[in-house]
Each structure stands twice: as structure tokens, then as C-alpha cells.
Amino acid sequence: MTIYCDVSNNTDKRVSGRLRGQILRPGKPVILFQNEVSLLRNQTKEIALTPAEIPQLSVADPDLWWPFEWGQPNLYRLKLDFIINNQPSDAQAIDFGIRTITQKRDSDNSFPEIGTGR
């Protein structure tokens, strides 16, 4: 799983801090991670956290999200905060689902069925 977030420094000085996160779902272990971030003055940038950089983002056996007609709409909660000098600067939270759909063509170039994968 890759997490994308925008971080902004609206001051006229360079800022360094720690982007901390946790992913929660009842019945699943809490996933904790953090990443050091530096921003130039008045800079906004997108941060991408990947499993290659943050191994905890390789979620084993996730509860998959499905539209309610097809199955359970299992949701996780992502909480992010940005820490500067051991003080919280900002925080955000969002609910999200994990789902991957794969589809293959038959020899006649049609799409016979949809499968799930991770």
C-alpha cells in the first residue's frame, strides 16, 4: 500500500519534522510508521510513502473493501500528524478501503470473469 499526502510549510523559514502515521482496523494489528520530512520556505510537496521505504505498509491478509452489493465494505482508519520540535503541528485522519481487481482476456478477447487479488 502506498500513502500519498501533501505537506506545506507556510512560513519564511525552512522546516524539518517527522510525519507520523498509524493505520487502524478493529481486529487487526495497529500499523505505525514515520518519515522525516524537510520543507523549504513556503513550499508544498506531495509525500509518497511506499512499502519499499516503509516495510509496515506491506499489509498481510488485509480485510478487503467491497461495494455493499458484493460484500463487506471493510474500512481502515489512517491518522497522520506532523511533528516539529516534538510538538504536533497538524493532524488529519481519513477512512479508506483496500481492494485490487484483476481481469484477464480469454482467447476470443472477451472478459469472462473478474477475480480479486492483493
Residue 111 has pLDDT above 70, yes or no: no
Taking only the tens place, the pLDDT of each residue in 23-35 is: 999 999 999 999 9
**Between these two residues, 25 and 101, which has the higher pLDDT value?**
25
Q: Is the pLDDT of residue 112 over 70?
A: no
Contact 16, 42 (CB under 8 A): no
Give, in order, the Cα–Cα distances in Å from 99 to each of 20, 50, 57, 75: 24, 17, 14, 10
CATH code for residues 3-117: 2.60.40.10
**What are the residue ranges spanned by the domains of the chain?**
3-117
Instruction: Work out the average pLDDT over 57-85.
Output: 91
